Every structure is written in structure tokens, then in C-alpha cells.
């Protein structure tokens, strides 16, 4: 009997809820026999970045995959060290946008004077939270028991919201204070779980550990889709990065970063200040 039970167990234990202690799996190479990728987007902002250093302040493979659709060179993966411990008394909008901003700034401060690699041309950070029907901010589950409770709460509450904030920054060519251009935006999507989803299915999903490292405890792009009846809004926002929003922010920040020319009237103003000093 013991041998029969042993044969039913998976060969390796599932990942722990403390995902920070787990090694990241090596990136998988696409099969050379797969479909050819489309030609990259030929947009001025993207073309200006193709020869520059690009940083994604996140270790999320989902965000890496979504960003790759823009056809830019691979982003360096430099996860932020920001503690992500802002008070939950903030509104969901304030909480998520401040977290994404601090993630970007943390990596900017560490990399702006990198003598070996040079300053970054662009830093992109994002933060995703799930907000229950009663307004509680849900991040990643901390245990299996908490994971089960989280998913049951989302099922029983009807609609819940997923917020993703994106922060994009680049150094200013002029080095004017504060030395960088920063743009942020927040996207929200409404998600409805299947109210008829049984506790048994929820427990089985939790034990796959797919949702252990995800805000709200589920992944729409994977098996977590069995929990979802419908969404209202952007699907890639729920996955972790609204690409449409990210592209708009990239275009804005690249335009602001190219500020080497003096602003209208600024040269005259500086001349007046120099005269006063003499």
C-alpha cells in the first residue's frame, strides 16, 4: 500500500510560498520550427531605444513576455529592492502607483552611475494588486490556508478589481533637476469568478502552486482561467502589464528625456542670473 501511495506523489515538491527563496528557472528557448515573429513596431520612440540600455525592474516572466511583443532588444532584469510595505490605508490607486514609482526609482538610483554598463536608457517598473469586493487590497498569498481563503473570498464577492500601475523613467539629456523624466499610469480591470466554482476545485488549484506568486492568488493566463467567468477590461492588465499603457508611457518619457535644447526663454533667464551674480 505504501508503494502505491508513493507512486501517486509528484516527483518533486511544489514551490514554497516564500518564492523569494526559490531559484528562477532558466529561460526557455523558442523552438526554431515555431512560427516566425512579426516585424517589430517602427515607431520613433522605440527606434530611439533599440541601441540603449533597457531595464525591467521586475523578475516577473509574464511581464518580460508581454514587453517582448514591442520588438525591443531584451530588457535587463534588475528586480527592485523596494520593500512594498506601504500602508494599506491608502486608496488602491495611490497604493499601486506609489509602489510602482518607488520600484523604478530604486533601480534608477542603483544604476544611474553604473560605470561598467553605462546609464540606463529606460527603466520600466510595474505593480499589480487585486482589490476584493469590499475594498481590501490583496497581494500574494502567504500560505496555503490563506490562499484558499483568498480565492473563496473572490468567488463569493462577485466582481473584484485588478489594478496595475506602470512607471517608466529615463535620464534627462540636459541633466536638469531631478535628472530624469518619469511617467506613471494605472489600468484597472473588473474580474468575475464563477460563483458555482466548488471548494474542491479551488483547493486543487491552490495545490498546483500556480497562483502562489501572484497578486490575488491566481493566474488568468494559466490554469487560473478555470476560476474566471468573465473580465471587463484589459486581459494583459490582469496578467501583470497592460502593454497599451506601457507603450504610451514609453513614448511620453522618451520625448521628455530628449531635452538637450534649452527651453524657450531659459537661456535669457540664466543670463540674467549670471549678470546679477557679477
Supply the Cα-derived Rg of the chain in whole angstroms: 22
Distance CA 87, CA 75 (A): 31
Determine whether 12 is an active site residue.
no
- Catalytic residue among 106, 127, 188, 213, which? 127
247: number of Cβ within 10 Å? 19
Q: Is the distance from CB of 152 to CB of 200 less than 8 angstroms?
A: no
C-alpha cell at 36: 516566425
- Known catalytic residues are 127
Amino acid at each position: 500500500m505504501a508503494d502505491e501511495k508513493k507512486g501517486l506523489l509528484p516527483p518533486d515538491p511544489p514551490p514554497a510560498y516564500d518564492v523569494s527563496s526559490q531559484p528562477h528557472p532558466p529561460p526557455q528557448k523558442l523552438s526554431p520550427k515555431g512560427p516566425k515573429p512579426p516585424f517589430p513596431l517602427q515607431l520613433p520612440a522605440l527606434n530611439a531605444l533599440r541601441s540603449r540600455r533597457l531595464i525591467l525592474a521586475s523578475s516577473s516572466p509574464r511581464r518580460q513576455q508581454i514587453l517582448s511583443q514591442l520588438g525591443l532588444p531584451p530588457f535587463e532584469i534588475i528586480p527592485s529592492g523596494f520593500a512594498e510595505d506601504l500602508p494599506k490605508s491608502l486608496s488602491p490607486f495611490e497604493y499601486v502607483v506609489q509602489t510602482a514609482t518607488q520600484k523604478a526609482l530604486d533601480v534608477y538610483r542603483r544604476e544611474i552611475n553604473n560605470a561598467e554598463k553605462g546609464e540606463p536608457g529606460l527603466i520600466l517598473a510595474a505593480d499589480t494588486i487585486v482589490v476584493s469586493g469590499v475594498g481590501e487590497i490583496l497581494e500574494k498569498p502567504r500560505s496555503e490556508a490563506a490562499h484558499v481563503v483568498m480565492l473563496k473570498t473572490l468567488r463569493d464577492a462577485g466582481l473584484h478589481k485588478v489594478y496595475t500601475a506602470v512607471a517608466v523613467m529615463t535620464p534627462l539629456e540636459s541633466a536638469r533637476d531631478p535628472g530624469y523624466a518619469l511617467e506613471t499610469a494605472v489600468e484597472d480591470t473588473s474580474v468575475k469568478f464563477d460563483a458555482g466554482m466548488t471548494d474542491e476545485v479551488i483547493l486543487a488549484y491552490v495545490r498546483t502552486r500556480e497562483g502562489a506568486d501572484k497578486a490575488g492568488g491566481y493566474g488568468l493566463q494559466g490554469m487560473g482561467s478555470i476560476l474566471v467567468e468573465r473580465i471587463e477590461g484589459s486581459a494583459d492588465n490582469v496578467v501583470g502589464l497592460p502593454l497599451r499603457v506601457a507603450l504610451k508611457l514609453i513614448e511620453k518619457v522618451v520625448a521628455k528625456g530628449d531635452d538637450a535644447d534649452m527651453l524657450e526663454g531659459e537661456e535669457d533667464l540664466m543670463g540674467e542670473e549670471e549678470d546679477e551674480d557679477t
